[in-house]
Structure 1
Amino acid sequence: MRQTLAVFILATSIMSFAHGPESVLASENQVITFPVRDADFAAVQSCALDENPACRQCANHGSSNISLMNYSILHHALQKGGVTMPLRPVPSPNSERSRVMVADGSADIKSDWAFNIENNDAVLKTAPIILAGELEKGLYGHRGINDLSAGSAIKDAKDLRGVSIRNWRLDWQVMEDLTPKSLISAPTVKQMFALIDLRRADFTLLEFSSEPDMGREIDGIRLVPFAGVKVSLPESQHFMVSRKLPHADEIVDAVNRGIKILRDEGFIRRCLVNSGMINQRVEGWRTLNQTMPPFDKASLTVPSN
């Protein structure tokens, strides 16, 4: 009898350990807050309050609201991982302020590059939502000197003058790896476009757009990508989780389970493609930088909407 009772207690303990986080997280009377930059906040808040789940499915091709994409991925990752607490967006002026909010506990979770999360004792890092090398950018120059339909790709950037923003750590690293003829830092994106328009620089790195010419425009200055070439971003993105969030470790485990399911199902890939962060039109273009680790392209199948 005693042996039977001991076996029952041991089995119950194992089951509690295996399923405890899900039941604890499901019973918590709290919300999880997600900082969103002011420019995107209204759209993300509207979706968070919408009982129709369509806005959280990354189903609309050409949507460029990256904050809504990240909200949608986190929303589903929490649910798939067994967390039933609602996810609430909160306003933030910019990414740097959002990092501070998560670190001091005034917000709970945000997406960020790995290098902004590592060596920060105030936060935890989830599994990657974007793999190193998965995101790509184009070398964008003035449309007056760069014809996308010319059909002759440049070999490298060594004869070009680059411009970027030094605080964009990852872009700056990639620009340096390209060893351009010169590289200058602009204080703002507008200034960056203006320098190219004035022919004081030849190119910068930008995300490919869904426009027919894949161009991007600010204040009437339109830049288009040099045909046939691209760069990969050699860093992964994760969710940054505040250590001050109750049950933070268990929530990270739950999000990790959810991320794996979402990637296996193709949901994350669909979000990246439909948001424009991955442009399938440049799939065959040559990658100028080869510094990133390889990633599993077999996991990048795009499911139907």
Structure 2
Amino acid sequence: MLRPENSYLRILRLVQDGQVALSAALVWKADLKNYEDTLLISPALVHEGEFIAGIYTHATNSNALNAKTPEALRQLSAASNSHWKADIATLHQLGIKKIYYSTYWPQIVRMVVARRADITLAPFQSNPDMKVQVNDVELVPIPGIKVSLPGSRHWPISKKHPESAAISAALVRGIAALEANNTIQRAYEESGFFHPAVKHWTLINPPDTHSSTGD
């Protein structure tokens, strides 16, 4: 049974408590370290250094759109979720001191639209302009630059579920098969997560310049 849930922490608690067998959403490895007694962890679906994100702002925010150097980015403010450790680590690494927090993604997007914050981080989108679109509002990436978020992403499986071992074994086999025939790579490319349009954009924080949160 699929159980919709928008809160990142709530998803972790549901899996940890055994109320659901596993999360359909990928979870950062660093966020699972405190739950190793209650969770099994799938092989990585996104490996260390692969999570490349855009720096998103509103189309009318000229200051943000023109901030294409670390020095300029440090003058901006950001919106994020305090539980998104990889995002926060990246924002801190960029030297951004003003970070405003909200629990839900639509609220974060609206904070940027309302100029309560200048930017937020998000994966590049598959639409032609790579816009983040949430209900009736949208954000655009600052052109020409991208960032790398530290860590790897996995599916957590509840050890309390009676089929946990079988589910984990099936995921290990399935992920290995999908990686072997390049299906995962193609899916990420088609979804825009590995976006060809930003291949030559400047990565302003190469992975070896930040500390890893685990793989």
TM-score range, shorter chain: 0.7 to 0.9
Amino acid aligned to 1:145:
N
Q: TM-score, normalised by structure 2?
A: 0.79
Q: 1:127 to 1:219 in 2, by over 3 A?
A: closer
Aligned length: 203
Change over 3 Å in CA distance of 1:225–1:258 after alignment to 2: same
Describe the shift of the 1:180–1:258 C-alpha distance in structure 2 as closer, same or farther (beyond 3 A).
Answer: same
What stretches of structure 1 of length at least 5 have no aligned partner?
1-88, 294-305
Superposed, which structure 2 residues align to 1:9-48 within 5 Å? none
Q: Secondary structure, in 3 states, of the residue corresponding to 2:33?
A: coil
Equivalent position SS for 1:241: strand
- Take 2:166 and 2:115, find their aligned partners in 1: how far apart are those partners? 53
Percent of paired sites with the same residue: 30
In the alignment, is the contact (CA less than 8 A) between 2:78 and 2:118 conserved in 1?
Answer: yes
Q: How does 1:183-198 map to 2 (within 5 A)?
A: 183-198=99-114
Unaligned runs of 5+ in 2: none
- What's the counterpart of residue 117 of structure 2? 201
Asked whether the equivalents of residues 141 and 226 of structure 1 are also in contact (C-alpha less than 8 Å), the reply is: yes
Answering whether residue 7 of structure 2 is matched by residue 91 of structure 1, we say no
Give the TM-score of the pair, scaled to structure 1.
0.58
Structure 1 residues 206, 146: CA separation in 2 closer, same or farther (over 3 Å shift)?
farther
Match of 1:125, as an amino acid?
Answer: I
Compared CA separation, residues 203 and 106, structure 1 to 2 (3 A): closer
Distance 1:265 1:162, change over 3 A: same
Q: Distance in 2 between matches of 1:210 and 1:179?
A: 29
Partner of 1:105: 18
Q: Which has the larger radius of gyration?
A: 1
Q: Aligned pair in 2 of structure 1 residues 269, 200: CA closer, same or farther (>3 Å)?
A: same
Distance 1:126 1:190, change over 3 A: closer
C-alpha distance in 2 between matches for 1:261 and 1:190 = 35
Larger RCO, structures 1/2 (Cα 8 Å, 6+ apart): 2
1:109 partner letter? L
Q: How many angstroms does 1:159 deviate by?
A: 2.3
Amino acid at match of 1:90: L
RMSD over aligned Cα atoms: 2.8
Which structure has more helix as a fraction of its residues? 1
